[in-house]
């Protein structure tokens, strides 16, 4: 029996982050099943186009991300403040903005948010 993780992306253009998330899905499934799963599929765009993505090559990057997450979760200090494009949707938006004001870095933070 073969398992193939599938990720659905509504946009027509696939980003590297989409491929990394699929690699994470594949990595987790591989670990859970105890066997290597080396690729997954992304269904994307208006036409629901399939794309086969070889994910095993991205496992090193997935492991690095997991290590960073573990370090953040185990640290007694809160993570460094970085405002992102999704801040407008986040429940902590006001708290982060207030911290940026206190750090006197609202302009620098806004530049980070404005990045595409």
Domain that holds residue 97: 80-116
Pair 25, 49 in one domain = yes
Domain count for the chain, please give it: 2
Return d(Cα 51, Cα 112) in angstroms, integer: 31
Shared domain check, 88 and 71:
no
Give tens-digit pLDDT for 86-112.
Answer: 676 777 777 777 877 787 765 555 544
Q: Which residues contact 110 (CB under 8 A, 6 or more apart)?
A: 83
Distances (CA, A) of 66 to 14, 29, 33, 107: 22, 15, 19, 31
pLDDT tens-place string over residues 7-47:
999 999 999 999 999 999 999 999 999 998 999 999 999 99
Higher pLDDT pick, 78 / 40: 40
């Amino acid at each position: 029996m073969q398992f193939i993780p599938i990720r659905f992306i509504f946009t027509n253009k696939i980003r590297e982050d989409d491929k990394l998330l699929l690699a994470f899905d594949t990595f987790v499934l591989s670990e859970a099943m105890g066997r290597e799963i080396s690729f997954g599929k992304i269904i994307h765009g208006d036409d629901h186009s399939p794309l086969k993505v070889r994910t095993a090559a991205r496992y090193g990057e997935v492991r690095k991300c997991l290590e960073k997450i573990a370090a953040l979760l185990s640290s007694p200090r809160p993570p460094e403040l970085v405002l992102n494009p999704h801040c407008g949707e986040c429940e902590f938006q006001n708290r982060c903005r207030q911290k940026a004001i206190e750090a006197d870095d609202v302009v620098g933070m806004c530049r980070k948010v404005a990045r595409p």
